[in-house]
Chains A and B, each alone.
Chain A
């Protein structure tokens, strides 16, 4: 078994265990350990990939997916890994585990990847954009939880205090903060891409168009500062654009 394999499987097992264990309050502590161990293993995997590559190793769609999962889980570890946010883990970790597996199938978790792009440009452009997308993913999960909890409160669900989620105000505040941190990262990533495009010359592609629209939606979110259900819907709308940008169009951007 290679070093890369020896790191990939513990990471996937950790994420997979968390995805299942978050289903029950009894096992949520074990789930959190799964997240921690998986993330440490993936961090080591990324380090090995970086050390063995002659350039930026995550420029392929599968490689960037690998990095994207790392950012998502990292963001979740920072402010979602708490008992009250168990259901956020249940939303995020299955997605992270599935995307990580897809990244492997696509060859994004191997070592020795080659890229025709300079390291600095890719670190700035891909790194910032993926970190921003990870933040938007987390914000969407928080917005989804908000809508669910708001719906339960509206229909006066008897189990509202038994299956306890974070308060609406906390979910709304966290969604806003997450977008507030992610949008500047997207701005920096876009700026790096635009600068390079101007230097080398090149046409404006569909992915860039969708990303700019995404930027406008989240920019509008921060400027207008909507509240309640409207804020949650807008965060989810922005995330729909992230999905389009990330999955549907990313394949052709670096070719």
Chain B
């Protein structure tokens, strides 16, 4: 059993090359099956083939066939512990463009479940999924937004909690405002109104979100009906003033001003129950959260290294398992042979007692050597111990025969 990884990712390959080797889940499963015992992980940022006992050249050739060119200087090849460590980092989101992004764990799971992996790949992928889950549970790496629009939605969530049923007024039909609105909608908010200088443009966007189109003059009158206001017009001055905000409200009002120059009167921030974030505030929040992600990534790396050690120990224990099994089989064979000599000389009760006692003696005698061999395997002396056991108990002749 030899774990090998051949692949390319956003670290080493430009998008023009990555898009040629990217395959969908069914295609990835087909590619893996065509190679043998393999799992193919293919996303927009990486295509990686994890194989057991297949030569690197054959795996690289399969990738080159997809790429339509030689990948000799681009694709990376990793073996055994290094390959496992890489997979654990991928599953934990540590190898992603945005550290800690959550989508990759689902993609690793899908790739693993799309094929019938052999024992080694099955073990390493199961462990990778556990590592990914552990990193997300024990660190806050995946909790913070990485863009201005997602930060705006996360901040609204910080005020209202669940955004389901919260009504949004979108002022300006530009791309950034639309992105912020999409982020809010993905958290359950309802884009109730879209206001724009050109009513036709407002209608188009409102139709997409299932909201109502307004002219800019109508926005102030609607403030009492919404919870979140997102503004991103190219107007030269404020489109909403503090005096436009209804004084008597029982729920907070959250304002997001993504426009430059700013659309919303800064005095709004002083009103009771009103929260106002402009583009600088949002960028500061994103910078801080990315710094937080990096700090959390260090913790995540520690967890991944721990799991890689565990994999190494498991892998090493495999070297001594055959010797342990042979030793136990040999001991059992001797015991059975000696028990056979007692046939007819002892009663059934006596025979059962002798069987039980000899079995216990055997287990106790072999317990410590078994433990010691497994421990030695981790410290790289496993092969020497296994050879010694085979030699001392004459197991090598058995193995040869």
**Interface on A for B, CB 8 Å cutoff?**
25-26, 29, 149, 153-154, 156, 158-162, 164-170, 227-229
Contact = CB atoms under 8 A, between A and B. Distances in A.
Interface of B: 138, 140, 143-145, 151, 154-155, 157-161, 250-252, 269, 272-273, 275-277, 281, 284-285, 287-289, 291-292, 299
Contacts of A168: 158-161, 252
B144 A167 contact: no
A78 B273 CA distance: 30
Contact of B161 (A25, A164, A167, A227): A167
Contact of A161 (B138, B161, B289): B289
Contacts of A160: 155, 158, 285
B284 A167 contact: no
A229 B272 CA distance: 9
Contacts of B287: 158
Contacts of A169: 159-161
Contact of A162 (B144, B269, B275): B144
B164 to A, nearest CB: 12
B273 A158 contact: no
A162 B158 CA distance: 12
A162 B289 contact: yes
B275 A153 contact: yes
27 contacts: A153-B155, A153-B159, A154-B269, A154-B275, A156-B277, A156-B281, A158-B281, A158-B285, A159-B288, A160-B155, A160-B158, A161-B143, A161-B145, A161-B151, A162-B288, A162-B292, A164-B158, A167-B157, A167-B158, A167-B160, A168-B158, A168-B159, A169-B161, A170-B161, A227-B251, A227-B273, A229-B273
B281 A164 contact: no
Contacts of A166: 161
Chain A: interface secondary structure? helix
A177 B299 CA distance: 37
* Central interface residue in B151, B161, B299, by most chain A CB within 10 Å: B161
B154 A161 contact: yes
* Central interface residue in A26, A153, A166, by most chain B CB within 10 Å: A153
Contacts of A162: 144, 288-289, 291-292
B65 to A, nearest CB: 45
Given A153-B159, A164-B143, A167-B161, 6 more contacts: A154-B269, A156-B284, A161-B144, A161-B155, A162-B289, A168-B252
Contacts of A228: 252, 272-273
Nearest to A169: B161
3 pairs of A and B residues whose beta carbons are closest in the complex: A167-B161, A162-B292, A158-B284
Contacts of A149: 158
Nearest to B276: A156
Contacts of B251: 227
Contacts of A164: 140, 143, 158
